[in-house]
Amino acid sequence: MATRMKLKLKTVFVLYFMVSLLGLIYALMQLGQRCDCTEHDLPKDRTISRLRGELHRLQEQMRKSEATKQPLKQAAKLSPPTIFVITPTYARLVQKAELTRLSQTFLHVPQLHWIVVEDSPHKTPLVTDLLVKSGLTYTHLHMPTAKDRKLQEGDPNWLKPRGVEQRNEGLRWLREDRRAQPGGDTQEGVIYFADDDNTYSLQVFEEMRSTQRVSVWPVGLVGGMKYEKPVVEGGKVVRFHTGWRPSRPFPMDMAGFAVSLKLVMANPEACFDGEAPMGFLESSLLQGLVTMDELEPKADNCSKVLVWHTRTEKPKMKREEALQAQGIGSDPAVEV
Amino acid sequence: MPKRRDILAIVLIVLPWTLLITVWHQSAIAPFVAIRKDDRVEGRGEAGGQAQDSKEYCASDKYIVEVVRTEYVYTRPPPWSDVLPTIHIITPTYSRPVQKAELTRLANTFLHVPNLHWILVEDSQRRTPLVTRLLRETGLNYTHLNVETPRNYQLRGDIRDPRIPRGTMQRNLALRWLRETFNANNSQAGIVYFADDDNTYSLELFEEIRSTRKVSVWPVAFVGGLRYESPKVNAAGKVYGWKTVFDPHRPFAIDMAGFAINLRLILIKPQAYFKLRGVKGGYQESSLLRELVTLNDLEPKAANCTKILVWHTRTEKPVLVNEGKIGFTDPNVEI
């Protein structure tokens, strides 16, 4: 009895062993095959692996930039000088569009500090929200233009100078309030007056970064010409190529020069003169800062156009006005 | 002796089960298995090797979400992702003084958008060096095409045929290029957007475009003499009309900048093009869209068409009075 049972047990064991071994081999063979249920997962996992690769790449870049930033924070002299861009702006239909595409350009420029000065008695929510969402380093200021200095509806653009009080307010902030901020003691920086309807290439910011006193370059589509530019001989500016009133001390556009922060701080009285005759606005500031032979020509000895004085058309609102007269204008809650 | 046999028996029972369980456990996480059916040996080896990686992949799932909040990295353009659908932007352009400025600031915008493919079509006999150089220097992923709108020889001067709306031949050429380059069976996801070179686009717009399944629509500012024109969206999230003053009964009363089309739709309907002649003012967009989609299929974006993400800005023509008849400035300097 015992032996028979023993024998049976032995066979049971052997059978069991064989069955489980076969099952194991079958399972292993299954792994070697493509199975329908895993087909869908393949692309997902491949994308995960690619995302991981990108993640690693971005992290590496970040680590590199952090590594270069850390010692820079201690030795401020080594960091690239900050470009302070002063932009006066005022509320009109295309304001949000202009500031949006301007911020898209600025977002590519490292070490840029945007100073937006609204022509308004208080900060508007439109500009506030836009600046917050832009991702840029910014300062939001406001300074209303005095009524008698302001352009009225129907006035031609050249009748009164625009943006004077706002630009001066930007300069004042740089001279006074910025000092109070951490890191505000550094005088390394370049100031650029960028109007909100011009077009800027990314190269112009790199050209102006090395400004020691005042640097200049050509501006496209201004002064009734394809471009206006300083004429450079022997590495120095000798005169200006312009089609309109070339006898001005500095016959160039606001977008055609940049001033070093140091120079502005060293001359606390230098600012834009709102009473200056038409076209003399730029000269009113630069006269007090620099002479023509001290100007630094950029953009390949002033031979390339890197900034354009574009102007945006006022959108036609005839139908809108007609609707509003009927009381069924477009929803004012929708911000344009 | 019996003791040893018992132990042997127990081992023989337990061993295959542990092996089985471990192998099944690994296979549950790692479906990265070998591709070829015949290469079984390789398959098993790969499965073993990849199985280890798979664990890491799974673990890193958590980290991918956190990465989104990193600081802005100044890489231009952003690295190409295999996950995001490509946005094919078709921009017709023509030579005029503000062309380089317009294309420059457009490029500055596009450099922020991942997986963007810019199809720039010049209205010219030959590709101009200005545009060629500009495209190359931006670093964007681009295709440079050109086709000249036939001039109207009856009118003197450089007047193009006024019966053909501006940009039509160029947009059609880009559509043809897309159809010749991609085929419908290719699983590459893409969206087509017609972007004119003087408009202003927010970066949010491109992310809204990316989720287009057939044709998506949204409001556009400064068109039709209004603050903005927009599709009318009902409570069910479907488009049922158009909020415009200028001919709201057009099949698609929408501006070129107000819609985007999934690439697949373009490919499976190869006859759909913008009508070249005989198109009434404002009906150009309808001439293409009515061959692709019905009103019911439209997907409203921009928070059910309540936000403005694109502005139909127009740049003033610069007054070049001081150039005079013979030109004052050096023509070799490119503007």
Higher pLDDT, B271 or A14: B271
Q: How confident is the model at residue A2 (pLDDT cuts 50, 70, 90)?
A: low
Task: Tell me the per-residue pLDDT of B195-210, one tens digit each, with 9 for 90 and over.
Answer: 999 999 999 999 999 9
Q: Which residues of A are catalytic?
A: 282
Q: What are the DSSP calls for A106-155, one per residue?
A: HTTSSSEEEEEEESSSS--HHHHHHHHHH-SEEEEEE-PPPGGGSPPTT-
Higher pLDDT, B331 or A202: A202
Residue A220 has pLDDT above 80, yes or no: yes
pLDDT of B100: 95
State residue A16 phi and psi, 5-degree precision.
-60, -45
Residue B251 has pLDDT above 80, yes or no: yes
What is the C-alpha to C-alpha distance for residues A281 and A158, in angstroms, rounded to an integer?
12
With residue B231 as reference, give the H or E element that holds it.
Answer: strand B228-233
pTM value? 0.75
Order of strands across the sheet that contains A227-233: A199-200, A307-308, A219-220, A227-233, A236-241
Q: How confident is the model at residue A63 (pLDDT cuts 50, 70, 90)?
A: low
In percent, the amount of chain B with pLDDT more than 90 equals 56
Residue A209 has pLDDT above 50, yes or no: yes
Task: Tell me the per-residue pLDDT of A173-189, one tens digit each, with 9 for 90 and over.
Answer: 999 887 766 666 677 89
Chain A residues whose CB is inside 8 A of the B325 CB are: none
Higher pLDDT, A277 or A166: A166
Q: Is the torsion defined by CA of A122, A126, A132, A134 positive or negative?
A: negative
**Average pLDDT value for residue range B162-184:** 89
pLDDT of B281: 85
Q: How confident is the model at residue B85 (pLDDT cuts 50, 70, 90)?
A: very high
**Average pLDDT value for residue range A119-135:** 93
pLDDT of B51: 34
Residue B78 has pLDDT above 80, yes or no: yes
Residue B333 has pLDDT above 80, yes or no: no
Chain B residues whose CB is inside 8 A of the A243 CB are: 321-323, 328
Q: Cβ neighbours of residue A217 under 8 Å, at least 6 residues apart? A: A204, A207, A208, A229, A230, A256, A257, A297, A298, A299, A302, A304, A306, A307
pLDDT of B59: 37
What is the C-alpha to C-alpha distance for residues A52 and A58, in angstroms, rounded to an integer?
10
Q: Cβ neighbours of residue B214 under 8 Å, at least 6 residues apart? A: B261, B262, B265, B292, B293, B297, B298, B299
What is the C-alpha to C-alpha distance for residues B253 and B243, in angstroms, rounded to an integer?
8
pLDDT of A41: 54
Residue B240 has pLDDT above 60, yes or no: yes
**Average pLDDT value for residue range B308-318:** 90
Q: Is the torsion defined by CA of A232, A233, A237, A240 positive or negative?
A: negative
ipTM for the whole complex: 0.75
pLDDT of B20: 73
Task: Say if the Cβ atoms of A58 and B246 lie within 8 Å.
Answer: no
For residue B117, the SS3 value is: strand
pLDDT of B109: 95
Q: How confident is the model at residue B12 (pLDDT cuts 50, 70, 90)?
A: confident
What is the C-alpha to C-alpha distance for residues A335 and B4, in angstroms, rounded to an integer?
86
**Average pLDDT value for residue range B326-330:** 71
What is the C-alpha to C-alpha distance for residues A150 and A172, in angstroms, rounded to an integer?
21
Task: Say if the Cβ atoms of A34 and B35 lie within 8 Å.
Answer: yes
Chain A residues whose CB is inside 8 A of the B334 CB are: 304-305
Q: What are the DSSP calls for B58-106, one per residue?
A: HHHHHHHHHHTTPPP---SSPPP-SSSPEEEEEEEE--STTHHHHHHHH
pLDDT of A64: 66
Minimal Cα distance from A29: which residue of B? B40
Bridge partners of A86?
A: A115, A193
Higher pLDDT, B70 or A66: A66
Of A11-20, A46-55, A232-241, B173-182, where does mean pLDDT reach its minimum?
Answer: A46-55
**Average pLDDT value for residue range A315-327:** 83
**Closest in A100, A110, A221 to B98, CB measured:** A221
pLDDT of B72: 46
**Average pLDDT value for residue range B147-166:** 70
Higher pLDDT, B64 or B268: B268
Task: Say if the Cβ atoms of B224 and A224 lie within 8 Å.
Answer: no
Q: How confident is the model at residue B106 (pLDDT cuts 50, 70, 90)?
A: very high
Residue B44 has pLDDT above 50, yes or no: no
pLDDT of A159: 67
Higher pLDDT, A54 or A209: A209
Q: How confident is the model at residue B68 (pLDDT cuts 50, 70, 90)?
A: very low
Tell me the residues of chain B between 33 and 62 that have a Cβ less than 8 Å away from chain A. 33-35, 37, 40-41, 43-44, 47, 54, 57, 60-61
**Closest in B32, B227, B311 to A330, CB measured:** B227
Higher pLDDT, A66 or B58: A66
pLDDT of A249: 92
- Which amino acid is located at A207 in the chain? E
pLDDT of A244: 82
Among A37-41, A78-82, B215-219, name the most confident range: B215-219
Nearest CA among A220, A222, A226, A215 for reference residue A193:
A215
Mean pLDDT value across chain B: 81
Rounded to an integer, what is the distance from CA B115 to the centroid of its chain? 7
Task: Tell me the per-residue pLDDT of A263-304, one tens digit each, with 9 for 90 and over.
Answer: 999 999 999 998 888 889 999 999 989 999 999 999 999 999
In percent, the amount of chain B with pLDDT more than 70 equals 80
- Which amino acid is located at A297 in the chain? P
Residue B215 has pLDDT above 90, yes or no: yes
Chain A residues whose CB is inside 8 A of the B9 CB are: 13
pLDDT of A181: 67
Higher pLDDT, B72 or A18: A18
What is the C-alpha to C-alpha distance for residues B64 and B71, in angstroms, rounded to an integer?
15
Question: CA angle, A35 as apex, A29 and A40 as ends, to 5°?
Answer: 150
B320 touches chain A (CB under 8 A): yes
Q: How confident is the model at residue A11 (pLDDT cuts 50, 70, 90)?
A: confident
For chains A and B, CB pairs below 8 A equal 246
H helices of chain A, in order, are 2-31, 36-39, 41-74, 95-106, 125-134, 164-175, 177-180, 202-208, 261-266, 281-286, 299-302, 318-326
Of A109-113, A256-260, B6-10, B16-20, where does mean pLDDT reach its minimum?
Answer: B16-20
Task: Tell me the per-residue pLDDT of A101-118, one tens digit each, with 9 for 90 and over.
Answer: 999 999 999 999 999 999
